[in-house]
């Protein structure tokens, strides 16, 4: 089983809709979780950290479910500019605190 798994998509979503996707991780000792956004052929950019209590930043909400070992990202009122690949990143002590990257979920927002 891969350490970090994501549905590659693409998710084709109309502008203004709400979209959510998950990321599962295999290592129960994972400690830190992040969502990065990557535009085509550009560098990954931190979107948000994921806290145990869940966190919200504008239209974006991230949640952590430790029991089921997944994190989620919810995007409300999606914009055309949200089109990107969303990368899940997990850090655990077992991996010497290296970032373990998911392969990403591609999101396409259509007008």
Partner 1 sequence: EPEVTQTPSHQVTQMGQEVILRCVPISNHLYFYWYRQILGQKVEFLVSFYNNEISEKSEIFDDQFSVERPDGSNFTLKIRSTKLEDSAMYFCASSEAEQFNSPLHFGNGTRLTVT
What is d(CA 105, CA 10) in angstroms, rounded to the nearest whole number?
7
* DSSP designation for 82: G
Residue among 10, 52, 98, 108 that touches partner 1 (CB under 8 A): 98
**71 binds partner 1, rule: CB under 8 A:** no
Provide the token pair at 92.
């655990």
Residue among 10, 17, 59, 97 that touches partner 1 (CB under 8 A): 97
Provide the token pair at 103.
């392969």
**Cβ 32 to partner 1 shortest distance, Å:** 5
Residue among 11, 13, 19, 44 that touches partner 1 (CB under 8 A): 44
Q: Which stretch binds partner 1 (CB under 8 A): 11-19, 27-35, 52-60, 61-69?
A: 27-35
Residue among 29, 43, 58, 68 that touches partner 1 (CB under 8 A): 43
**108 binds partner 1, rule: CB under 8 A:** no
């Amino acid at each position: 089983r891969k350490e970090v798994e994501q549905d590659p998509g693409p998710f084709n979503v109309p502008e203004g809709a709400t979209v959510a996707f998950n990321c599962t991780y295999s290592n129960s000792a994972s400690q830190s979780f992040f969502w990065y956004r990557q535009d085509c052929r550009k560098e990954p950019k931190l979107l948000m950290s994921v806290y145990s209590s869940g966190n919200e930043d504008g239209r974006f909400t991230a949640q952590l479910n430790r029991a089921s070992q997944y994190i989620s990202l919810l995007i409300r009122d999606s914009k055309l500019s949200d089109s990107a690949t969303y990368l899940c990143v997990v850090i655990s002590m077992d991996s010497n605190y290296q970032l373990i990257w998911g392969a990403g979920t591609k999101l396409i927002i259509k007008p």
